[in-house]
């Protein structure tokens, strides 16, 4: 799937409140990101999971980094529900 902006690699620290996650960016900085997927995502929410974030610079958004993908056993898994239809269409 093509994203409009580059993705940023991070490591998951913890996921909480269904839509929030604390992550550590490659720079070592800790931050909170938005996760649009409200399911439990048990296999994707383990601390240390490699994840990819997009930057959404909208002034009215409190969190401008969005969790897009997670890497599980070498496979990228789509997390952002906004792109669900695009991912299915691309797979077919």
pLDDT value at 78 more than 60:
yes
User: What mean pLDDT is predicted for residues 56-82?
Assistant: 86
35 neighbors 20 (Cβ within 8 angstroms): yes
pLDDT in the model for residue 89: 60
34 neighbors 22 (Cβ within 8 angstroms): no
pLDDT in the model for residue 36: 84
pLDDT in the model for residue 91: 62
> What is the C-alpha to C-alpha distance for residues 7 and 31, in angstroms, rounded to an integer?
15
More confident residue, 75 or 21: 21
Sort residue 28 into left (φ over 0), alpha (ψ -120 to 50) or beta. left
Residues 6+ apart with CB under 8 A from 33: 10, 20, 21, 22, 23, 53, 63, 65, 66, 67
Query: Could you tell me the pLDDT band of residue 86, with boundaries at 50, 70 and 90?
Result: low
């Amino acid at each position: 799937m093509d994203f409009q902006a580059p993705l940023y690699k991070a490591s998951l620290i913890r996921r909480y409140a269904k839509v929030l996650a604390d992550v550590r960016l490659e720079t070592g900085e800790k931050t909170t990101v938005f996760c649009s997927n409200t399911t439990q995502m048990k296999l994707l929410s383990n601390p240390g999971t490699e994840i990819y974030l997009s930057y959404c610079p909208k002034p009215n958004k409190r969190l401008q980094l969005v969790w897009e993908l997670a890497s599980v056993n070498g496979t990228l898994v789509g997390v952002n529900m906004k792109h669900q239809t695009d991912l299915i269409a691309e797979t077919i």
